[in-house]
């Protein structure tokens, strides 16, 4: 049963049409990889799902609930958008950790602010304690237990990205999105991030990954979408799309990665 349904998303910036009618769905517990060259609209699609951009047309449903409809102004109110964003987590290419906070505070900040917003949730110190404990658990999961009190600039790129993943997971999103999570990393640091993502896939976390790591997409994804010029050109299992693509455009794109093992 699909947890995410995307119907006919259009988005243009001025005269530039970036998305020209994107529809797909994603089942709970599955990993979807979106591949395609730069400028194909992958990142814009991800930003539309997280409502950092508002699609010009189209509908986004999570668990059969409409979280965005370009025709419906009611779901586009700021407070509603903010609430609906929490269905998704987003891990950025450039980490975007909050510079002035420790690793622990980066992970707990949003949860604490949300808890402050909701009243009558029991003793605040108990809530506080639970948020902290969960953050420590996430750090352990990321292999960063010893970095709780470090500041972002003290960490390597790979460590920062793992903190960013923990930060996104702390709000327990239905769907975790990654926007080229390893593109800003030195090659020797990509492995540690990909390992964490692979573990999440093994735990049946629903994920949507925009990536240039073909080998990784082939190994981890349940479903692959190839995008080109704002359209989905081809989709299917990794074996279909990456190993034996039907479309000429997909073959052209993948030939650039053919040197990979």
Partner 1 sequence: MYECFCEVREKMTGLQSIILRLINSFGLNVRLFFMTLLFSLPLGLFIAFGSMSRFKPVAWLTKTIVWIIRGTPLMLQVLIIYFAPGLLNLGSPWGSGASARFTAATFAFVINYACYFSEIYRGGIQGIPVGQTEAGQVLGMTKLQIFFRVTLLQVIKRILPSMANEIITLVKDTSLARIISIKEIIMMAQEYTARGLIWPLFSTGLFFLAFVGVLTLLFNHLEKKLEYFKA
Using CB under 8 A as the criterion, what x/- string covers residues 155-174 for binding partner 1? ------------xx--x---
Rounded to an integer, what distance in angstroms lies between the CA atom of residue 45 and that of residue 7?
12
User: CB count, 10 Å around CB of 183?
Assistant: 14
Minimum CB separation of residue 243 from partner 1 in Å reads 33
Contact 77, 51 (CB under 8 A): no
Minimum CB separation of residue 101 from partner 1 in Å reads 8
- 106 Cβ contact list (under 8 Å, min separation 6): 97, 98, 152, 163, 167
Question: Is 120 one of the binding residues for partner 1 (CB under 8 A)?
Answer: no
Question: Is 121 one of the binding residues for partner 1 (CB under 8 A)?
Answer: no
Which runs of E-coded beta strand occur in 28-98?
31-35, 57-62, 65-69, 88-91
Pairing between β-strand 207-210 and β-strand 31-35 as defined by DSSP bridges: parallel
Q: Which of 59, 90, 163, 194 binds partner 1 (CB under 8 A)?
A: 90
- Applying CB under 8 A, the site for partner 1 has a residue count of 27
Instruction: Return the number of the residue (106 or 250) whose C-beta is nearest partner 1.
Output: 106
Q: Which of 89, 158, 181, 238 binds partner 1 (CB under 8 A)?
A: 89
Question: Is 54 one of the binding residues for partner 1 (CB under 8 A)?
Answer: no
Could you give the C-alpha distances from 141 to 136, 166, 197, in angstroms and in order? 9, 8, 11
Question: Is 153 one of the binding residues for partner 1 (CB under 8 A)?
Answer: yes
Contact positions vs partner 1 (CB under 8 A): 50, 52, 78, 82-83, 85-86, 88-90, 92, 94, 96-100, 109-110, 113-114, 151-153, 167-168, 171
């Amino acid at each position: 049963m699909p947890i995410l349904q995307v119907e006919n998303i259009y988005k243009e910036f001025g005269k530039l049409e970036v998305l020209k009618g994107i529809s797909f769905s994603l089942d709970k517990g599955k990993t979807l990889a979106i591949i395609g060259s730069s400028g194909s609209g992958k990142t814009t699609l991800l930003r539309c799902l997280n409502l950092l951009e508002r699609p010009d047309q189209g509908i986004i449903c999570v668990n059969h609930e409409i979280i965005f409809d370009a025709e419906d102004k009611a779901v586009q109110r700021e407070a509603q958008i903010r609430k609906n964003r929490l269905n998704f987590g987003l891990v950025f290419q450039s980490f975007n950790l909050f510079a002035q906070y420790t690793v622990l505070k980066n992970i707990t900040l949003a949860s604490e602010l949300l808890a402050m917003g909701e009243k009558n949730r029991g003793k605040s110190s108990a809530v506080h304690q639970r948020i902290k404990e969960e953050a420590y658990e996430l750090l352990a999961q990321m292999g960063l237990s010893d970095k709780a009190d470090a500041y972002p600039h003290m960490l390597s790129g790979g460590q920062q990205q793992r903190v960013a993943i923990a930060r996104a997971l702390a709000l327990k999103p239905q769907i975790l999105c990654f926007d080229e999570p390893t593109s800003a990393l030195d090659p020797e640091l990509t492995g540690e991030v990909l390992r964490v993502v692979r573990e999440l896939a093994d735990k049946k976390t629903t994920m949507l990954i925009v990536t240039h790591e073909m080998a990784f997409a082939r190994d981890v994804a349940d479903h692959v979408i190839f995008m080109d010029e704002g359209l989905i050109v081809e989709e299917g299992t990794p074996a279909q799309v990456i190993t034996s693509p039907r479309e000429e455009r997909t073959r052209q794109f993948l030939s650039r990665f053919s040197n990979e093992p």
